[in-house]
Structure 1
Amino acid sequence: MTNQTVAPDLAGSDLLQRPPHGRVVGSTTKPLIVTPTFVSRTDATPENERPHDAGSGVDRAGQEVAHPNRHPGAIALEPDENRAFEHWDEYWRKVHGPKFAYEEPGARNDKVLRYDQVHRIASGPSSAFRPPYKAMIGANGRLVADPAARIPTYWRPGWDGFAYIAYGSEEDIEAVLGQEQYAKRIIADEHTVFRMVTREVAREYIIIPSTRHRDPVSLVKIHRRRSGLSREAFQARWLKEHADFVAGKTATAEYVQRYAQLHPFGSTQEDPEGSKIDGISVLSFASLNDVEDYLVSADHAAIEAAEIEFADPDMSEFWTAVNYGVINRLSPELATER
């Protein structure tokens, strides 16, 4: 362990890009334009089991590792499969995040108004394994004697998290990402750390604003519309009717610290996986227990019953994540005009 007995030098760190050290530009009630970039981690999963971007999952020379399941030791990020997830999670937050927030000489990223990393955690509630969690018991009421034979199958969601990045306009996205720092060196870093990233562009509607935008936990719902319903019709009903239905519930008032809807309408480049997503709900909480209590409430059961009228439950999913604020220039957060 390295001891630190004096205040650290913050130069080059992302701490300078958010309060209390960073500059705040104000607030807005207009819909922000966001890139809800869903990511899957670089790992040794066979290519036929999880989508894969060409050029990603590279070796130490920066070349794509073909068939990573056959050559896990060649993966630059972490050759030891036993440590691969932990190393990826650390790298994304502690290395990639500061790289994105940093301004190279001649570059500017002040048009990035907010950048949150939302890291999925397997121990949190998900649509595949939701609370309440119950003891595994036999007919006699006692715990089972053969737990090794009864381990539940783990279902891995399609994504390991998402980069939640907000801009004032579509033009601001190109102004930032078109710079050499991002178009070359950040992309090279993405090829190192991510297996696949989506490229959707969406409008953000904040239904319940956060008081400090430091809420530690989020419930992320990825919505796919029902067959026969256009994306426009889905989003209109979701925003005009469902948002108020969710916000008006007693359990929402008790547990939810922030509620935002992200409405995809395009992409920055070809995006075969991201284009399948019709909407994203992000509900933030003070703790994982609050997520659990919210999901087992009668109010959330009513919310879910309403959602499946226009969202396909078999194609949609939800999971829980830990939030890390990397950049934030907006304060206080305000509800969006609808």
Structure 2
Amino acid sequence: MHNTRQDRLLRTPYIEPKLAGRAPLTVLFSLLSRSDSTPLNERSRAQGFGLDNDGNVIEDPSADPSNNALEGNPNLSFEHWGEYWRKVHGPRFAHVEESDDKSLERLLRYDQLHRFAPGPTSFNAPPYRFPVDDEGKLWPTIVGHVPPYHRPAWDGVAYLHFERMDDMGLVFGNERIRQKIVPEDHAMFRNIAPIPAKQFIVLPSIADNDPITLVKLHARKTGTTRAQFQHWWLHEHAAVVMQHTGGLIRRYVQLHSLGPTEPGEPFYHPDASKFDGVSLLNFASLNDLEDFLRNEDYLAILRDEEQMIDASAGEWWTTISMTIVNRMTHEKTTAIDDRPQPFSGLESL
């Protein structure tokens, strides 16, 4: 039998795992874009992000791509960033320098969701269409017939789980994080849009490591409050999804945003504030996801979403899920608690 416990003990940091409970966790779901040479008028950039080889903020990322501290060759930018994020930044984040530093024990799980460009997106979903001439014949050359590529706004997500909001502040308030990880963030990322959220696991994972995650960013329709949307989403729409899994969805999670919505509020982010919730749908394979998006079950889910969700204000895309830290075993369905949990600010972030 596969020894799940041993797997967890061999994954740094070496912290004893614990059984998952039914209480909703607080998560920090941070939308990320890589530091690259895209012009500023084509992709947003957060203040202080995107550094040159001298450690200064690059005034114009497109002027001299070779001056990017993370990768000077724009042809390698996307793949080098993905490798660095997983193989260097992830282990650095989880590396404990002092034996008495117990801050990471407050982090229950940390997943990196790397956007997978060949996977389905809201801009290009199955069934895929290829260019043909007026008679339905394939062109003898692709030159002049390559469909345009629509890049999503984000390249991935840092998905961190905590038991409560205070634990989030303790982890990110640690001096090691402040002095060595945050400066690294400014060099490797172009933008970070954090969404603090209350997590509801509607369908728990059995495998606990499903490789494909469909990330759907939701914005409520005009005239609806966030509280109204989130109540409908959890108490009505979740049941619709559960009736139409097609036998293919392996995990279904709702993240209910707790973040500020108005400029001037503490930790307001103009990009993160647009979203009232995030759906995470996990699949065993990319083919399962593509099959699901083509069947009647998904169409039924989309029809129900139209009641309260403004599809034009959000987007969705495919990610490869990579677990960096996981202290929880045997994920369970979340117990529903209607009491509101307002955003209290992350004073230590």
Same fold (TM over 0.5): yes
**Per-residue displacement from partner, 1:25-62 (whole Å, max 9, x unpaired)?**
21110000000000001000111211111111112332
Distance in 2, Cα, partners of 1:133 & 1:206: 31
**Do structure 1's residue 239 and structure 2's residue 234 form an aligned pair?**
yes
8 Å contact from structure 1 (residues 14, 101) kept in 2:
no
Offset at 1:313? 1.3
2:11 matches 1:15? yes
Measure how far apart 1:250 and its partner are. 4.8
Q: Specify the code of the residue in structure 2 equivalent to 1:64.
A: V
The answer to whether the Cα contact below 8 Å between 2:32 and 2:193 also exists between their aligned partners in 1 is yes
- Provide Cα deviations, 1:177-234, integer angstroms capped at 9, x if missing partner: 1111112211111011110001221000001101132111111100011111111111
Amino acid at match of 2:107: V
Letter in 1 for 2:24: P
Counterparts of 2:290 and 2:252, CA distance in 1: 16
The aligned runs of 1:231-310 (5 Å cut-off) are: 231-251=226-246, 254-266=247-259, 269-310=267-308
- Give the whole-Å Cα distance in 2 for the aligned partners of 1:85 and 1:93: 13
Code of the aligned partner of 1:308: E
| Residue-by-residue CA offset, 1:148-193 (whole Å, 9 max, x unaligned) | 1111111111111101100000000111111111122111110111
Relative to the length of structure 2, the TM-score reads 0.89
Contact 2:107 2:160 in 1 (8 A): yes
Give the distance between the partners of 1:180 and 1:130, measured in 2 at CA.
44
- Name 1:153's counterpart in structure 2: 148
Cα separation, partners in 2 of 1:141 and 1:38, compared to 1, 3 Å: same
2:51 counterpart residue number: 58
Amino acid at match of 1:32: L
**Separation in 1 of the partners of 2:10 and 2:17?**
14
Q: Does 1:187 align with 2:182?
A: yes
How far is 1:146 from its partner? 3.8
1:308, 1:100 → 2: CA distance?
40
Give the conservation status (yes or no) of the 8 Å contact 1:124–1:320. Answer: yes
* Aligned 8 A contact 1:65 1:71 in 2: no
Q: Offset of 1:14 from its aligned partner?
A: 8.3
Deviations 1:121-148 (A, max 9, x none): 1100011000011443323332122421
Measure, in 2, the Cα distance between the counterparts of 1:310 and 1:156.
26
Is the 2:94–2:104 contact (alpha carbons within 8 Å) kept by the matching residues of 1?
A: yes
Aligned to 1:226: 221
- How much is the aligned-residue C-alpha RMSD, in angstroms? 1.6
Distance apart, 1:22 and its partner CA: 5.1
Matched residue type, 1:35: L
Which of 87, 93, 96 is matched with 1:100 structurally?
A: 93
2:259/2:268 contact within 8 Å kept = no
Unaligned runs of 5+ in 2: 1-8, 261-265, 337-349
The answer to whether the 8 Å contact 2:49/2:191 transfers is yes
Q: 1:10: which partner in 2?
A: none
Q: What one-letter code is carried by the residue in structure 1 that aligns with 2:291?
A: D
C-alpha distance in 2 between matches for 1:141 and 1:280: 39
Using the alignment, how far apart are the partners of 2:234 and 2:188 within structure 1?
34
1:136 and 2:131 matched: yes
AA in 2 matched with 1:114: R
Match of 1:327 in 2: 325
1:45 paired with 2:38, answer yes
Q: Structure 1: how far apart are the matches of 2:126 and 2:51?
A: 38
Task: Specify the SS of the correspondent of 1:314.
Answer: helix
Taking a change above 3 Å as real, the CA distance of residues 138 and 22 of structure 1, as seen in their structure-2 partners, is farther
1:8: which partner in 2?
none
Q: What SS does the corresponding residue of 1:110 show, helix, strand or coil?
A: helix
2:167 and 2:310 map into 1 onto residues whose CA distance is 33
2:78 counterpart of 1:82: no
Partner of 1:117: 112
One-letter amino acid of the structure 2 residue matched with residue 228 of structure 1: G
Question: How many aligned positions are there?
Answer: 321
